[in-house]
Every structure is written in C-alpha cells, then in structure tokens.
Amino acid sequence: MRHLISMLLQNEAGALARVAGLFASRGYNIESLTVAATHDEAVSRLTLVVFGDDITVDQVVKQTAKLVDVIDVAELTRRDHLERELSVVRVEGDGEAIDRYLARAGARLLQRDGGHSIVEYTGRTDDVDGFIDGLRNVADIADHARSGVAAIERVPTALPDLSRA
C-alpha cells in the first residue's frame, strides 16, 4: 500500500540522511522524497512516499519520531490532506495539437522553440501520470522531470455550535 508521510525536522546537516537511513535500513525504497524549508528557516518539511504494509510502516514512523532532529511526523495516507506534484516535460510535435491538449488538461506551455515545447502540469500523482500518458498521444516525449509529492494536512472544518440553537 502507498503511504504518504509528512514530517517537520530541524534544518540541520545530516537530518535528512538520518531519516532516509532509517527507512533504508528497514528495506524500504523511498518512491518520492521532497524537502524544503518552511516559513521558519530552522525547520524543513519532508514528504516521503513509500510502499509497504500498514503495520511495518507504522512502526518505522514511530521510530522516525524518536530521532533527535524530527519535530513532528504524520502519516497522511488516511488523513484529510492535499498533495501535489509538479511535472515539467519536453516534447516534440505539432504545436497546435499540444496546445489543445494543454488547454483540456489545465497545463501550461513554458517554452516553444520550433517543434520543441516545454510544458508543466501540477496535480496529484495519479493526475500527473494521466497527463503524461495523454501527452504521449499528441507528442513525442523527449524528456521529463517530476518534483516528487508535496503534501500538507487540511485544516479540520469547524462544525457549527448547535448547543445555542
């Protein structure tokens, strides 16, 4: 099963290596890893995507929480969250056909030079997969890069106070 893990950690040398090492030592291949500073320069948000059984991943998450550099860790898979991934793709083909596809998909043209176009698309991982598959139907993909998943838990929706009604 796919697991989406988000953590806040001290923005210190070696912190990322310790987290990644813990997953690697348990035999988990990290499918996607995204790290960036937060609004606080001393803290980074790390988002990992791993595949594995629920019990073992839960155990690794608990062990990760014990690392000195880790401030907070959350398994977002079953929580209400938003996730996005950026894909930048260089394609070769008919510019008009590419433009029509981009308009339908909600993607953006970044650059066009002759028969080469560079496009970007942002969405959930499965949406990015679908975008790239559809793009193959209208152009030849010369190269592409993906950012990895960035995710954040949604703010719980406040329920109305019915005690005053």
Domain containing residue 62: CATH number: 3.30.70.260
pLDDT of residue 26 exceeding 60 = yes
Tokens for 97?
Answer: 């056909």
Distances (CA, A) of 11 to 23, 42, 68, 69, 152: 19, 5, 12, 8, 18
| Domain interval for residue 44 | 2-79
Boundary-marking domain end, from 79, 97, 112: 79
User: What are 153-162's pLDDT values in tens digits?
Assistant: 988 766 666 6
Which are the contacts of 113, defined by CB distance < 8 A and separation ≥ 6? none
User: What are 95-114's pLDDT values in tens digits?
Assistant: 999 999 999 999 999 999 99
Tokens for 72?
Answer: 């907070």
Domain match, 110 and 57 both: no
Mean pLDDT of all residues belonging to the chain? 91
Domain match, 88 and 66 both: no
Per the CB < 8 A criterion, the answer to whether 101 and 134 are in contact is yes
Quote the DSSP letter at residue 135: H
User: What are 146-155's pLDDT values in tens digits?
Assistant: 999 999 998 8
Domain match, 26 and 57 both: yes
